[in-house]
Amino acid sequence: MISLPRSSGVLLHPTSLPGRYGIGDLGAGAYRFVDWLEAHGQSIWQVLPLGPTSYGDSPYQTLSAFAGNPNLISLDLLVEDGLLRASDLADTPPFPRDRVDYGWIIPFHHQKLVLAFRRFLESPVSQHKREFEEFVNASRFWLDDFALFVALKRRHKLRPWIEWESGARRREGAALSAAADALSEQIKGERFRQWLFHRQWTALKVYANSKGIRLFGDLPIFVAHDSADVWARQQEYFLDDVGNPIVVAGVPPDYFSPTGQRWGNPLYRWGVMRAAGYNWWIERISALLRLVDYVRVDHFRGFEAYWEIPADEPTATNGAWVEGPGASLFHAIEQALGELPIIAEDLGVITPAVEALRDEFSLPGMKVLQFAWSDSANPFLPHNHPVNCIVYTGTHDNNSTRGWWEEEVDAATRGFVTDYLGHDIHDIVWAMARVGMRSAGRVFIMPMQDVLNLGRDARLNTPGKAAGNWTWRIAEAALDHPGKDNLLHLTRLYQRHPDQQPETDGVAEPSG
């Protein structure tokens, strides 16, 4: 069982940080946010998956389960490292300050990283070269395949691997050797980008931990079909002879969608993975725990049973529950890595079997206050919270709390909320924050949108919506919003401040 002190934190993905290059990055804005968290009594910074995004820009559909997103690399830190010059950034366009325009920022960042790589090749700085080689050697489990995958993808004008010529698509030895020779410089360039990301992120993590801030990461249960993971290990997925998925992942009809959610991810051949000792999963968890202190496993219930949808079905309606790997996977990970610093995202259709799997390993689950207001027996209501849970006002898939209250809550629910709280509601955001803070749950997390008391325009993701997600950002001035004072006050009032925790509370040491 992982030890979590009574504490609180904020959910904010790094892409939403302020900065002048069109997207949040791992530079000064990230360090200022860590300082802001510390100054306002917070102990946790929760982020979304950190991988390189593709079409749709979703951090839950990435090109790799191991790699980092190069767009998060701080260009200013590259200037400090001598890999860029200040003059190289003089042509920075007037990017929007309140949103990420991916179509604009991606080519800009790519151009600057190409330039930084050229400077790296020309640089006499032996320390950089040595660090780079050490990273490459330590990351071979995933980095070689990923770098070749991205180089091939660029050669094929970013088309999915399923559309490549058969030799590359089927990973025939001669074709891969020829590609590795022809694309050697591009491959090294992709390794270089990953070194930069991991170098900058590791430094940020060290700084955050030194300030008493623990990082909560996010691990999607499934991976994207157009990813280095599926391309490199096709035998571990349900694919046809060409490489197309036979069945895909999703969830049945639920709160978010009357036809369910058809995510489209290929499904694992769990028997094949089990026969290999779950090696890929062990490596995946181990790699992420070098970047974060705790891992929120998205769609945890899929390990007990997952929703299998025939690939030719247009929606998730006509699917079926199929048994997952269950406890055998977590026993293998635990045996290899020790205690599991894992948080189970146990939302959706949760059965006694899912709860039993979660509780067998004493994993904290999630309680989302926006889902609480049906009746007094609702497990998300604070009086029903166990100690071993993480409480949220909302998640990245929810509307902001203010947007939820203004647009999604009917009169009956409003009445129940008012009755439960015992007073009229003048500010729903801080009413919910107060309820969450005083919960028995060990950890309370508040999305930054709620700290800033923003409405639906600040929503980060709407499940089932094809475009317009993942773009929200904060401006530098947002860190001076009066919400910070409310956050600090409630953190102290309900004894979640680090200064209020006894030394014997059993705070886990940061991983990595």
On average, the pLDDT of the chain sits at 95
Per the CB < 8 A criterion, the answer to whether 472 and 446 are in contact is no
pLDDT digits (tens, 9 = 90+) for 402-459: 999 999 999 999 999 999 999 999 999 999 999 999 999 999 999 999 999 999 999 9
> Is 511 within the bounds of a domain?
no
Which residue among the candidates 76, 190, 229, 345 is catalytic per the annotation?
345
Give the predicted TM-score (pTM) of the model.
Answer: 0.95
Residue 72 lies in a domain: yes
> Among this protein's residues, is 345 annotated catalytic?
yes
Asked whether residue 29 is assigned to any structural domain, the reply reads yes
In the set 145, 226, 293, 397, the catalytic residue is 397
pLDDT in tens, 13-54: 999 999 999 999 999 999 999 999 999 999 999 999 999 999
Q: CB within 8 A of 215, min separation 6: which ones?
A: 44, 45, 46, 47, 205, 208, 209, 291, 292, 293, 294
Q: What is the pLDDT of residues 320-363, one digit of tens each?
A: 999 999 999 999 999 999 999 999 999 988 999 999 999 999 99
- Residue-wise pLDDT for 220-255, tens only, equals 999 999 999 999 999 999 999 999 999 999 999 876
pLDDT confidence bin for 191, thresholds 50/70/90: very high
Q: Do the beta carbons of residue 373 and residue 414 sit within 8 Å?
A: no
Quote the domain boundaries for residue 183: 7-505
pLDDT digits (tens, 9 = 90+) for 359-385: 999 999 999 999 999 999 999 999 999
> How do strand 261-266 and strand 247-251 relate by DSSP bridges?
antiparallel
Among the options 81, 236, 298, 304, which is catalytic? Answer: 298
In this prediction, residue 140 carries a pLDDT of 97
**Residue 1 domain flag:** no
What are the Cα distances from residue 234, in Å, to 227, 228, 230, 286, 487? 11, 10, 5, 22, 47
Encode 12-40 in three state secondary structure.
CCHHHCCCCCCCCCCCHHHHHHHHHHHHC
Total domains in the fold of the chain: 1
* 200 three-state secondary structure: helix
HSE, CB side, 13 Å, CA atoms: give it for residue 71.
Answer: 27
Q: Is residue 228 part of a domain?
A: yes
* 512 assigned to some structural domain: no
Is 451 part of any domain? yes
Q: Which CATH number belongs to the domain containing residue 220 in this structure?
A: 3.20.20.80
Q: Could you tell me if residue 460 is inside a domain?
A: yes
